[in-house]
Structure 1
Amino acid sequence: MNSRVLITGASGFIGYHLIEAAQKEGLEVHAAVRRSSNVNHLKKFNPVFVYPELSDKEALKQLLKEGNYSYIIHAAGATRAKNTQAYNIINADYTRLLAEAALEADIPLKRFLFMSSLAALGPLSYAEEQPITENTLPLPITSYGKSKLLAEKMLEELTDLPLTTIRPTAVYGPREKDLFILFKTLNQGLDAYIGKEPQRLSFVYVKDLAEVTVAALLKDQNERQAYNISDGFAYDRYALADSFKEASGKKPRRIHLPVGVLKLAANIMELGATFSSVAPVVNREKVKELTAPNWFCSIEAAKRDLQYQPNYNLNKGIAETWQWYKANDWI
């Protein structure tokens, strides 16, 4: 029997690619999804679907015991929430409950891999000469980043947990829906930026992220380690649009919006969402994240320990993503 892996957040953008990468390595995938989730796109993988209640540790213990999992990838989480409390509950408290359940369920657990985020460390100043490393002092600037850092700290307290943490930078690729908004805007002829201050950005193609995640999962190791993951390059603020132009042959008009205008729009969106159950696409924290000067991170630890060699730079990844969006009628 192949070793079993439980992948939470399996119906999401990254989850899809994690399933694909895990099956390529011969793992039997159990896809943890909500009963309300659309899983039609996952049926070609034919995973075993399970329906955990992440807020109920006893129910989680029973599910884990029945699955007898050797590996867990916890990729479920909220990238958009109404407030700090909601972020903390979903991204931190549920993570802790799953990890505690894994320790108490009497399963042959070899590795618990937590999908965190570079946002847990936060950006640097533009003048900083060294990239973000695994040892950079964490100074997250958003509630999302703070909730991921809180989850990391909670997991660190579970000293018996065979833990690995992955911190991807901005992830893009087929099926992604947030950066896809930029694709749509560019495709409609507008190349818009917030302010004119220089930025140093980093990206990772989702297939590279999925492959290095599974490599970290299967690595035989006793020590705990966190890995920052990007494609290894630092990009200026125009690089993504330039890659889009090269891939699409289009020439959208470049404009710069005053930071104050977007802050005002974010305030209005937040106010409008006060009585809604849906978090706004843009809020004040998102503006801080989008205008942060330096998200460049080192991937030397992943190269050393996991033999990570990204297959995609931004030009190659954007070209493949553009073709997928077109082929699947997203654009």
Structure 2
Amino acid sequence: MKERVLITGASGFVGFHLISEAIKNNLEVFAAVRKSSKTDHLKVFDIKYTYPDFINVQALKAEILENKYDYIIHAAGVTRARSQHEYNHINAAYTSNLAQAVVDSGVALKKFVLISSLAAIGPLNSLNGIINEATSPNPVTAYGRSKLLGEENLKSFSSLNYTILRPTGVYGPRDKDIFILFKQISKGIEPYIGNIEQKLSLIYVTDLATAAVKALYAGNKKAYILSDGNYYSRYEIGNISKEVLGRKTIKIHLPVIFVKLIANIAEKFSSLSNKAAVLNIEKLNELMAINWYCDIEPAKTDLGFNPLHNLRSGVTETLKWYKANNWL
């Protein structure tokens, strides 16, 4: 009989790849989605669907008792919200409620893997240095603070075996965020904010999915930083993309003061329309951060994590997928 894993956020970009990797590892997958979620892209998988109510601990407990999961990979969350409260409600309270339901159920869960973010630690303010396990968390956005709170909530359940994963910027097939940059480059425009030197880190989505499944079996009660192990200048994504797409571009360095003005307008519009803004002043803190270079040696040692993709191979595969699926 196969072991069972509940994957939350299953209909999302990362969720799709988590399902694929779990199935490759002979796990029976229960995909937690909203009833309003689009799931047509998941029809390629032999999975069961479940519709948990993350604000109702008793309902979550009943769900866990019914299906008796061996593992949970909690990837549900938001990257855009209208307030710190909204971020905390979804990224932190949902985590706490799910963990509480596991404990209350008495089910002998083998591992609770939380997909957090490097944003929970935050960037360094100098090009010198590297983000590692000893770096004191100093998130620069409401999103990062909510992710850190979610981690702290999970750690408070001393009887629960968990692993926390802190991936840096995730990209790959089905991503809609970094895709915005790829789309601009395909049109011959290469936009940047300001003109500063940066150290950026990234991880290809299938490498994250591999790490998440490995974490089901190792790295007990620890948090691990994940990237492809390298750092990149702000221009390297653009340079690789231009080569793969065969495009020439015009580089545009937008003045910081202009982008801040746009972000302010977006925030005001967001408050009026009751929709989360794609760009806000805090998001600029992440986009313009000096140093996101991070140490993944603990994940390599403890989880057996060995990323298969660097930026060149990952971007190449991603752009092939976008073109094959008519995104570009």
**Superposition TM-score, scaled by structure 2 size:** 0.98
For 1:7, what is the secondary structure of its paired residue? strand
Aligned to 1:162: 161
Q: How many residues align?
A: 328
Q: Which segments of 5 or more consecutive residues in structure 2 lack a partner in the other structure?
A: none
For 1:217, what is the secondary structure of its paired residue? coil
Kindly provide the amino acid, as one letter, of the partner of residue 181 in structure 1: I
Tell me how far 1:289 sits from its aligned partner.
Answer: 0.9
| 2:214 is aligned with 1:226 | no
State the superposition RMSD in angstroms: 0.9
**What percentage of aligned pairs have identical amino acids?**
51
CA distance in 1, matches of 2:179, 2:217: 31
Aligned to 1:237: 234
Tell me how far 1:127 sits from its aligned partner.
Answer: 3.3
Q: Which segments of 5 or more consecutive residues in structure 1 lack a partner in the other structure?
A: none
Aligned to 1:305: 302
| 2:292 is aligned with 1:320 | no
Aligned to 2:82: 82
**Superposition TM-score, scaled by structure 1 size:** 0.98
| 2:230 is aligned with 1:205 | no
For 2:216, what is the secondary structure of its paired residue? helix
Q: Could you tell me whether the CA contact under 8 Å between 2:71 and 2:216 is conserved in 1?
A: yes
Tell me how far 1:299 sits from its aligned partner.
Answer: 0.5
* 1:43-98 Cα deviation digits (max 9, x unpaired): 11121000000000000000011110010000000100011100000000111000
Aligned to 1:268: 265
CA distance in 2, matches of 1:107, 1:20: 25
Q: Could you tell me whether the CA contact under 8 Å between 2:208 and 2:226 is conserved in 1?
A: yes
Aligned to 1:95: 95
Q: Could you tell me whether the CA contact under 8 Å between 1:172 and 1:205 is conserved in 2?
A: yes
Kindly provide the amino acid, as one letter, of the partner of residue 312 in structure 1: H
Q: Could you tell me whether the CA contact under 8 Å between 1:126 and 1:200 is conserved in 2?
A: no
Name the stretch that deviates more: 249-258 or 109-118.
249-258
Tell me how far 1:30 sits from its aligned partner.
Answer: 0.1
Kindly provide the amino acid, as one letter, of the partner of residue 275 in structure 1: L
Q: Could you tell me whether the CA contact under 8 Å between 2:127 and 2:199 is conserved in 1?
A: no
* 1:161-218 Cα deviation digits (max 9, x unpaired): 1010000000000000011111111111111111111000000000011001100112
Q: Could you tell me whether the CA contact under 8 Å between 1:194 and 1:258 is conserved in 2?
A: yes
For 1:26, what is the secondary structure of its paired residue? coil
The ranges of structure 1 where at least 4 consecutive aligned residues each deviate by more than 2 angstroms after the TM superposition are 126-129
Aligned to 2:178: 179
Q: Could you tell me whether the CA contact under 8 Å between 2:70 and 2:110 is conserved in 1?
A: yes
For 1:95, what is the secondary structure of its paired residue? helix
What pairs with 1:49-198 in structure 2 (closer than 5 Å)?
49-129=49-129, 131-198=130-197
CA distance in 1, matches of 2:134, 2:44: 40
Kindly provide the amino acid, as one letter, of the partner of residue 2 in structure 2: N
Question: Which residue, out of 283, 290, 295, partners 2:287?
Answer: 290
